[in-house]
Chain A
């Protein structure tokens, strides 16, 4: 993965065919975090707790639907990916990269949850079966894409072709 240039408010990224395939695969996994994962509060006596939890659930569900639509658009939009010299080029705005970060991190956290949340409160170990290995791989891949996108939005990655 490379940042080719930053021009006209868009970041132009180059992905090898395998990287593009992996990114699209991860995007198609979205959403992986169960709808019931997020809790508004730990306080069981919070006034109107249930109503407010429901409002949060609805807001997050609407967000998930919006993200799913945006993924379909991103993946299928004509001209979004251009192929040349054995690599794919894709142009993204800062806002799109922010959105990609949210989506890819959902896949990362969802994969971790699917493995049984290893390292969190319970000391249980991950069973090294096929499913766990698959989710471990998704989690690591999502992390790699996250670091790449973060590097771009934070200005840590220098474009190869400055204009």
Chain B
């Protein structure tokens, strides 16, 4: 990802406490964001905040995972919900896919 400064806060976004836990959803699919050299770091953080309703710190953590590790597992969901999140992320032109959990 291209480097940019980070936003302090993202007003008007409610945190979504439902994402990220397999036991809550009996979820068999993970949503992964993959690194690319074109999406700006600042932009990726923003998109994570908008799509998942995360606070900036959590969004930044995942953005940095993408940047340093080449990918980040964003959430674990049912197939239908994972498809929804992939669509949301791709709407913003992020490089996101869903994969079966445990692979």
Bound CA–CA A108/B86 (angstroms): 20
- Quick one: CB contact mask for B82-99 with A, threshold 8 Å, 1 for yes? 010011001111000111
A38-B90 CB under 8 A given contacts A46-B100, A56-B83, A154-B7: yes
CB distance from B6 to the nearest CB of A (A): 9
Q: Which residues of A contact B79 (CB under 8 A)?
A: 52
The number of residues on chain B lying at the interface, defined by a beta carbon within 8 Å of a beta carbon of chain A, is 30
* Residues A60 and B93 in contact in the complex (CB < 8 Å), given A40-B98, A120-B37, A150-B46: no
**Chain A residues with CB below 8 A from B37, complex form:** 112, 118-120
Task: Determine chain A's interface SS by DSSP, over half rule.
Answer: helix
Q: How far is the CA of A159 from the CA of B77 in the complex (A)?
A: 40
Q: How far is the CB of A107 from chain B (nearest CB, A)?
A: 9
Residues of chain B lying within 8 A (CB to CB) of residue A43: 99-100, 103
Residues of chain A with a CB closer than 8 A to B100's CB = 43, 46
Is A150 within 8 A of B42, CB to CB?
yes
CB contacts under 8 Å to A, within B39-62, are 39-40, 42-43, 46, 50
Assess whether B12 is in contact with A94, with CB atoms less than 8 Å apart.
Answer: yes
A120: min CB distance to chain B, Å = 6
CB–CB B40/A147 < 8 A: yes
> Contacts A98-B50, A109-B38; is A41 near B97 (CB within 8 Å)?
yes
List 17 interface pairs A-B (beta carbons < 8 Å), by A numbering.
A39-B97, A40-B86, A43-B103, A60-B87, A63-B91, A102-B92, A109-B36, A109-B38, A109-B39, A112-B37, A120-B36, A120-B38, A150-B46, A154-B7, A154-B10, A154-B11, A155-B7
List of 6 A-B pairs having minimum Cβ-Cβ separation, nearest first: A154-B7, A119-B37, A112-B38, A38-B90, A109-B93, A105-B93
